[in-house]
Structures are given as C-alpha cells and as structure tokens.
A and B are shown apart, each in its own frame.
Chain A
Amino acid sequence: MPANATSTARLGVIFWLAALWLSVVLISAATAGWWSVPPFDRMDWNNLSALPGTSNSGTVLQNTDELKKNEYIYWLGTDTMGRDIVSRLIHGARISLAVGLCSPLIGFFLGGLLGCLAGYFRGRFESLIVAAMDIILAFPGLVLLLVITFYLGPNLKNLVMTLGFLTIPAFSRVARAKTLALADQEFVQAARLTGAGNLTILVREIIPNIIIPLAIYGLIAVAFMIMVEGALSFLGLGVPAPTPSWGGMIAEGREVLDEAPHVSMIPAGVMFLTVLSFNLLGDSLRNFAERRTSQL
C-alpha cells in the first residue's frame, strides 16, 4: 500500500459511531431488567399496534395483577398484541447478542486451534483437518441449520452450539493461513534455534500473532450470526415464544405491514444498525491493523 500523507493509522469517525451504537445495545441488553418499562409480555388490548409515542392513558393492563393504572408512553409504539416495543427490543437484544457473541466464540477457539495446529504441523494432520472442514462447508449452511434445530429442538443452547459448529471451518481457514505465513518467519526460526519446543513456539510466538486477525474476523462472524439468528427466529425456528427476539418481532409485524409498518420496521432497523456496526468495526479494525503493520 503506498504511503500517502494521511496514512497515519487512525480509526475514523465511522468506527467510533459504530462502537457507540454497539455500546448502547450492549448496555441496554445487560440492564434490561432495570428499565422502567412494562414487562415484555404484558399485553395492552386497547393499544394494539400503537404508533410510537402513544400514551396508554391509564387503560387496564392485561396479564398483570397491578391495580394501579400507571400512565405510560410507548416511545416506539406497541406490537400486534399491544406489547411495548422498547421492552421487547431490549430483551430481544439479549437473545441476538447471546447467539451472535457466543457462537463465534466456539469457532474462534476450536476452529482457531485446529487451523493453527494444521498450519504448524502440516503433513497428514493438515490434510485431514482441511478435508473435514471442506465437508462441513459442502453443506448449504442455512439448510443444515434449519434441519439441526428442527431435530434437536429450538432453544438457546442448541442454537449457539449449532451456529458455533458451523463457524469452525471459516475460523480454521483464517488461522491456518496466518500460521502458514508465520511459520517461516525469522523470529519463529530464531525461537526454534534457541531450543524452544513446539508447544513453546505455538504458545509464545504463533498464537499471540494470529489472535488479533482472528478476533477481527470474529467481529464479521458476529454480524453474520446475528442475521442468521434473525432469519431462524423469523421462520419460527429460533428461541421459542414468549421470549422476544428481533427476528420474531419482525415476523409478527408482517401481518400489519400495511397499516402499521413500524411494528416490523423498528426491530428491522435496530438489527440493521447492529449488524452494520459489527461489519464496520471489523472492517475499520482490519484496515487499522494492516496500516499499522505496513508502517512498522
């Protein structure tokens, strides 16, 4: 990359905007229990698919034994069953983030380790790993996912495990490519000449150098996993009701897309911004890391 005047490694405004949005989503999901919003499953039959900003003006709330008629403003409106969208969004964020963040971790550790070992030891072990990964990749991912969640039953644990399993090949490819590039470098040879064993070289020299690119790749995997979880929930094969999920909320709004598009479009927008932010974060960090290396 040609060094021009602006090549000092800096993270742009876009990076910080993306980071800001993600912090908001993360903190909301973490503090979902403390918000003074109605519970996510409380239905208000007088305000079905209410527009954002509607006040419940003291109507009787179903599904609760509260006698006090609190006045409450639905800042983002209500869904088709009169449930507060804000409340469902922040609780749904828990599912999206749990799946989106946990499943790539499985790929990160297992795939990363396998790829790293394959790239380091080469030979028959490498061919075996590569062949196994090719077979996993030979399946159309979404179809396999649909079928596995169908047979195992949809719940958070199965979802995370299956999605995590499917991310293993991609992580192992990245790790193997990086390890292959590192294995012939001088510092690795130097370590070997000083009498370091395979384990020491892997732990001290190789792994610290592949963990950053792998983690950056992980951010893009998170973005993808959030979309896949959304698609599964949308098809009704995600985490079962009544637990809210963004994909499920988008699906519920389909019936009223004509008269109350916000019921679908607000969760869709939130999901879009979150996925976009993870993509942007991964992209800017990758450019940042590349420029840092080229400057050294």
Chain B
Amino acid sequence: MVIGKKLLRFIFVVLAVTAVTFLMVNILPGDVSYIIGGETATSEDIQNIRRDLGLDRHIVVRYVAWMGRVVRGDLGKSYLSREPVLDAILRRLPVTLELLIISQLLALLLALPAGIFSAYRSNSLVDRLVSIGGFATISIPSFVMALVTIYLFSIKLRWLPATGYTPFFEGPWANIKSFVLPALSIALIEWVVLMRVLRSDMITTLQQNYILMAKAKGLPPWKILIGHALRPSSFTLITVFGIQIGRLLGEAVIVETIFALPGIGRLLINAIYARDYLMVQACVLLITLGYVTINSVVDLLYAILDPRIRTEASNAG
C-alpha cells in the first residue's frame, strides 16, 4: 500500500519535472532560435533553426515528441560541439558520482565521532564546542569553504593540488588527491546536519532500559555506544544522509566549477555560459531525475529499514 502510493507520487513528480524542464525552454521569454542563431542570423537561418527544433508545431505535440525521444535516450545534440548530449553527460557522470561519494564519506567520518561523543557527554564542554563549531560551519557557503581549503591546504601548506583532474585509471593516487579538497569543502558543511540528527537520536536511545542493562552488565562505554546504541539511533541519519545526497547535486555545481573538475555541474555551468540550450535542458533533466529518484529510494528504504514504521503501518492496517 505504502509502496504503491509512493510509486504513484514518484511518477507524478517525474512527469511534473519533465514538463517544467521542457516549458523552461519553450515558454519563458526570448525565442531560443534567436539566441542559438546569434546576432548575425538572417530570418532564413532563424526559420531553419525553428524547424530543426520543431518550434513551428504546437507545444503539446512538441512535448510528446520530446518525451518520446528522451525515453529512447535521444537528448539531442549540443549546438556548439555537435556532440550528442547524452554522451557528454555519461562521460562526466562518474566524476560527479565520485565527488558525491567521497564527500559523503568524509562527512560521515566527521559526523559519527562528533555526534556519538556529543550525545554520550551531552552539555559537556566538548558538546558545546561541537555545537558552536557546527553553527559556524553552516554559516559558511560552500564556495567560501572551497576557497578557504584551497588557501590552507594548497597555497599555504602545499599538500594538495588546487585544480586539475586525473582520470582514475591513469593514476589512482593522483585521482584521489584531486578529489580531497573539493570533497572536503562539501563535507565540512554537510557533517553538521548529520551530527545534529545523530546526537539527538542517540540521546533518546541512551535513555532506554536496555542501555541501562548493558551498563549494569559492566560493558565499557565504547562497546555500549557502538554495539548497542548506534544502530537504533541511525534511522533518521540514513534518511537525512539520502536527502543530503540530492542537495549536494547543487553544491557539486559550485565546487566542480571552483576546482575545475569535469563533472555534470561544470558541464551545466559551461553550457549556461555558452547558451547551449539543449545541453542545459538535458543536464537539468538528469540532475532533477537523479534528485527525485534518490529521495524516493531513501523514503522507501526508511520505511523498510525502520521496524517501528513497519509495525505502525501493519498495526494501522
């Protein structure tokens, strides 16, 4: 029941997303063909471009035709490089995925110890320092964080390269090195949300009777925290973790631009600067679909993972 309803919502949102993406090019002011044609285009050129894009037909016909092509994997060709848009996107996708994975791992690496310790010693000096630190870092936009990490680790300490990218198979070590700073500048902002969620859930868990039982058995604190308290405290963490991945797609655009990583975000920004409409449309479609899919999967996973929600649903049903 729940899954059916969520699937229905997913399909509805995907349709809405594609419609809005399509309308952006077709309804917003400024005929695309004039911009593609440039200032020197004759009216004949404009007519040709309009026919190429199918702009002379009715909007509903165009939408259905476009959807038909998108479903078959034909997103059109770039107006600049004449390269199929889908190829360009697929070539850059691994870079963005690697950035997202490394940054989320780094964020977890920061959030887990900080969250666990803050919950274990809540209202202690360390807890307050972590909370103040968190407050400060969420007030730093990612582009500033990126500049700060470049300044510290690349210019002052000279540990890591500021820009440049090496494909993984040409040099795994250089590849990882080129991802450290971009991933760090995302992680340093993202860990706060994860830490806060984990801390508040963990505090609730630590008040449960079975934790008292474990303490009474004489188990060391770290064993209780990791072995007994962490798993039941991590359901919200998993949900937020998933939602954050979607949100990160936006951050990736900025961070990829600053660090010159050839990912989807940089592709989108370059397409925007170059007024490459079909590329922009395709990137937005892909990013939004990815975002909606991730959110829906996380939603489902949450319902499957958390036994409390399962029982509540079966009790209610």
Contacts and interface: CB of A to CB of B under 8 A. Distances in A.
Contact of A142 (B138, B150, B250): B250
Contact of A235 (B151, B257, B292): B257
Interface residues of B, number: 45
A139 B288 contact: yes
Contacts of B150: 257
B138 A140 contact: no
Contacts of A230: 141, 143-144
A132 B223 CA distance: 47
B21 to A, nearest CB: 8
Contact of B142 (A150, A231, A236, A254): A231
B292 A250 contact: no
B102 interface: no
Contacts of B17: 135, 138-139
B126 interface: no
A234 to B, nearest CB: 5
Interface in A233-251: 234-237, 247, 250-251
Contacts of B268: 143, 146
B74 interface: no
A3 interface: no
B140 A135 contact: no
A250 B238 CA distance: 35
B53 interface: no
B269 A235 contact: yes
Interface string B85-101: 00000000000000000
B247 interface: yes
22 contacts: A134-B9, A134-B13, A135-B17, A138-B295, A140-B288, A142-B254, A143-B250, A143-B284, A146-B269, A147-B280, A151-B28, A151-B30, A223-B139, A230-B144, A235-B269, A257-B151, A261-B155, A265-B147, A268-B144, A272-B139, A275-B140, A280-B135
Contacts of A139: 17, 20, 288, 291
A135 B16 contact: yes
B147 A268 contact: yes
Interface string A119-139: 000000000000100110011
Given A150-B272, A235-B257, A257-B155, A276 B135 contact: yes
